[in-house]
Amino acid sequence: MPVPGETVLVAAAIFAGLGKLNLLVILVIAIICSIVGDNAGFLLGRYGGHPLIERYGKYIFLTPKRIAKTEAFYARNGTKIVLVARFFDGLRQANGIIAGLTEMRWQSFLTFNAIGATVWVITWSLIGYFGAGHVATLLHYQLYLSVAVVVGSIAFYLYRRRQQKRRPTV
């Protein structure tokens, strides 16, 4: 299920950095949940197969065209993709399903998924843990960044609108 995994993990690690939670417990739980979650997706892809994905895949942006492209890509690079998929939103959620669809060997999937999950969890947990003492500073600059994004978005919208008005209609 697509959820903001990094956000939850970083938030928990920030609390660990502030002494409110235990970092080791967070790491163990997050690694186990990451591995189990992707294995559930793997089983869904393996045993639900194409009929299930064709029927419900559109709800998670898995169109038949995307599935075909992805299956071909997985056939060439499966274990490497499973290893790094965790770091790409969207691919992280579909990774297990697609690996199951392509009938990747479960042992290979389990191994590379566990390595990827462990690296992903440790990375985001350490970012939160060591960033805990700087939360106030980050929140202070977040206001400036948010204002800059809003102003930039408005400026871009106005620029594009002006460009469209200049184009001659055919």
Q: What pLDDT digit, counting tens, does each position of 57-104 carry? A: 778 777 888 888 888 888 888 888 898 988 887 788 888 988 998 889
Beta carbons of 16 and 128 less than 8 angstroms apart:
yes
Half-sphere exposure of 88 (CA within 13 A, CB side): 9
User: What gap in Å lies between CA 67 and CA 56, rounded to an integer?
Assistant: 12
Beta carbons of 102 and 74 less than 8 angstroms apart:
yes
User: What gap in Å lies between CA 116 and CA 122, rounded to an integer?
Assistant: 10
pLDDT at residue 12 greater than cutoff 80: yes
Mean pLDDT on 119-143: 86
pLDDT at residue 169 greater than cutoff 90: no
pLDDT at residue 2 greater than cutoff 70: no
Angle formed at CA 11 by CA 146 and CA 14, multiple of 5 degrees: 105
Q: Give the model's confidence band at 140: pLDDT under 50 very low, under 70 low, under 90 confident, else very high.
A: confident
pLDDT above 90 covers a percentage of the chain that reads: 44
Output the pLDDT for position 63: 80
User: What gap in Å lies between CA 90 and CA 79, rounded to an integer?
Assistant: 17
Mean pLDDT on 18-28: 95
Output the pLDDT for position 1: 43
Beta carbons of 134 and 17 less than 8 angstroms apart:
no
Q: Mean pLDDT, the chain, as a whole number?
A: 87
